[in-house]
Amino acid sequence: MNLDFSSMPQYTQLFTNGVIMTIELTLISVAIGAVLGLIVALMKMSSVKVISFIGSAYVEIIRGTPLLVQILIIYNGLPQFGIKFPGFIVGIIALSMNSAGYVAEIIRSGIQAVDPGQMEASRSLGMSHSMAMRYVIIPQAIKNILPALGNEFVVMLKESSIVSVIGFADLTRQAEIVSSVTYRAFEPLIIIAAIYFIMTLVFSRLLSKFERRLRSGDTR
């Protein structure tokens, strides 16, 4: 089979739209996932057994089931109960919930890595446990785990391609459209593979640079 990319330039706008939608979906999902992940992490660390159990169960369920299944449950399963969302919202819900399961463990590890003396010092100054967590422990933990959260963004950027199965017009879906129009399956896939590679490479380099700046700031 001969490769023929001659017809691909006319679909540049489709690929561009796919890139924009993919980045937008990833940014929103990771942002929501980070907030939800923080809540789940605090639930797991709660001294109340019921709350801790719910947090732990959430993480285990999310990490123990395929992302594709989670997407299909929301997209195909919920309509049976009269609950239906457009593809973009389904993508955000599924990716956010999935990301939260992993971010929760990142945040929990970050909190546990903070020197226990910080909590003791905060309590000795009259802070409640919740105040100490909010103003002392969590800010330090977040700073320590920012590189890991950045890596989660890169992972989610690639994982987001799976939302194409529900017809969401991300980069992968646009390649499928181009393929159906041109009857060329391989060329569009080669193009989006290169685009995904470039995006992940760029974001990874930016994150590495950001991490180095954080470290240099700590050594001053």
Tens-place pLDDT, residues 139-151: 888 888 888 888 8
- Token readout for 74 is 């929301």
> How many Å separate Cα 49 from the centre of its chain?
28
Paired tokens of 98: 């999935």
Residue tagged 């330090």 (tokens) = 140
Confidence of residue 214 (pLDDT cuts 50, 70, 90): confident
Mean pLDDT, the chain, as a whole number?
91
- Tokens standing for 38? 């923080």
Q: Which two tokens stand for residue 24?
A: 């937008």
Q: Is the pLDDT of residue 50 over 80?
A: yes
CA-to-CA distance for 218 and 143, rounded, in angstroms? 11
Give dist(CA 2, CA 15) in Å, integer: 22
Q: Give the per-residue pLDDT at 102.
A: 94
Q: How far is CA 150 from CA 24, 41, 130, in A?
A: 15, 18, 27
Domain at 13-219, CATH from 3.40.120.10, 1.20.1300.10, 1.10.645.10, 1.10.3720.10: 1.10.3720.10
Give pLDDT, residue 217.
Answer: 64
82: left (phi over 0), alpha (psi -120 to 50) or beta: left
State the DSSP H helix or E strand holding residue 158, giving kind and residue range, or none if neither.
helix 138-159
DSSP character for 45? T
